[in-house]
Structure 1
């Protein structure tokens, strides 16, 4: 959807993500506007966990047409906040964030700004948890922003070391791009690729979608997975997902070659709406273990 994919942009970007207009709220919460390395404003919210900055932080990446204020995103954040500090943010083109959605391409930069902010707040351990489109983004971001390795300088890495995730969870994520094998995905492709669909996206779903095709096509989720190890990876998927059937999570797990844990959830549908509190709690416990 973008003429310049996120790809390996980390080698050449001259400036850091930054925060502006931070507001303090009750209980130590913070609301801020992050600025990505390509200049997009990203709405973000921080909730301190039981151990504050000394404990881990979970960064939640919502699905397409979501934002940090949607009830299903807030519910997930509330469950995770029982175990860790939580950063929620709104992807570009959604809600109060700027720019236009590239449906999983440059959204990597939005997530990177959120992870960096969590580390700036003092968290040594940061876990990324993504749902649907957000699931594809956390996989790609983990592949592009690697943890520092012994004997390797930051300059030798693919991305800034303060932007890496210490563990990754992808819920209801696609394995490959351009999938049209289900009716919901055919509707989504109409929404993204057709002018009339983008009008519906803007005025009905409150999502501003970029009109350009991807050129070049960014690294796919299944291509990203082999690059994530040794970072712990959890893949969660419902066996009744109406968007992506179970060959998607199995393909992702196979690509990890033993480096990922796969949870196939009986009776579960798609993403945040289908993840009940018990499942979210299990994911949270895995994330902080």
Structure 2
């Protein structure tokens, strides 16, 4: 019909003018958190798993010890998820522990501390080497008899997942939450603040001491490809999850990642209030992600997974 817009493709799930009550509440609670509470969550003094779990240690192919939590799912030798957190966080931070606990209600879970974070050894390399941590996590699940593995990467974890895919990671699907398409995009204030912190030696040192992570000087990290340049050759089903109010990476990053992966990727544009990374991890999102993992294992596609708006 003249003058009407064609419907969006199936691989794009948009949620404009929609209110997600859980995100609204989460944003309100974030605004009310004290600096001490933020520090306690970042250092994982608060948080941790409520689901049955035990600590396991992995070793990457370059010899770095990776701490992880193993969360057994409801059935033996069922599908499994490797959960990879964002920068300056850890697997025991409340939001990541919440997501891992929810996923373990459906599938086996292995939640990692990336190198330089939490209880792992090594030093953060801003995505240049973290793909090795992802590969070690997937290998650990396979050693336990898991055939169908899905990787859920958040922010830095999404970058690491893209690099692992480009190096031949064989998984049933990947979920990229608040991921960047280009590493050094300083358009938004969040990334400008980060860049100023990690490039200033004194500020970087103080930040590491406060937040409890360890990273290399960015000037010593050789250039490495952007995630958007790594997805062109993949046929692995992908789910890109992003909020319109991300203060680090705009929604353009999400669409670039979706487009780079071609027809193998689905995009969920979340409602306002999603923010960045763990900001948007609510019980409703956890439930949708658990359903998405089950869907991609069965269908080899995320297209039929319940997207934004399906949780009311």
Normalised TM-score (structure 2): 0.75
Deviation readout 1:133-191 (Å, 9 max, x if unpaired): 11111122112124xxxxxxxxxxxxxxxxx2221000000000111111111111122
The 3-state SS of whatever aligns with 1:226 is coil
* Superposition deviation, residue 100 in structure 1: 0.8
Aligned to 1:203: 209
Q: Which residue of 1 aligns with 2:70?
A: 46
Gaps of 5+ in 1: 1-25, 147-163
Corresponding residue for 1:261?
266
Which residue does 2:190 correspond to in 1?
184
Q: Does 1:213 align with 2:219?
A: yes
Match among 89, 95, 100 for residue 66 of structure 1: 89
Partner residue in 2 for 1:234: 239
Equivalent position of 1:272 in the other structure:
278
CA distance in 1, matches of 2:114, 2:212: 12
SS at match of 2:211: coil
**Do the aligned partners of residues 55 and 107 (structure 1) sit closer, same or farther apart at CA in structure 2, a change above 3 Å counting?**
same
Distance 1:170 1:212 in 2: 23
| Structure 1 contact 239–266 (Cα < 8 Å) conserved | yes
Matches within 5 A, 1:1-289: 29-52=53-76, 54-146=77-169, 164-213=170-219, 216-229=222-235, 231-267=236-272, 268-289=274-295
Report the count of equivalent residues: 246
Kept after mapping to 2: 8 A contact 1:76/1:272: no
Residue 215 (structure 1) shift:
5.2
Check conservation: 2:71, 2:101, Cα contact below 8 A. no
Aligned residue number for residue 15 of structure 1: none
Structure 1 stretches of 4+ with a deviation exceeding 4 A read none
Largest Rg, 1 or 2: 2
Q: Is the 8 A contact 2:141 2:149 kept in 1?
A: yes
CA RMSD of aligned residues (A): 1.8
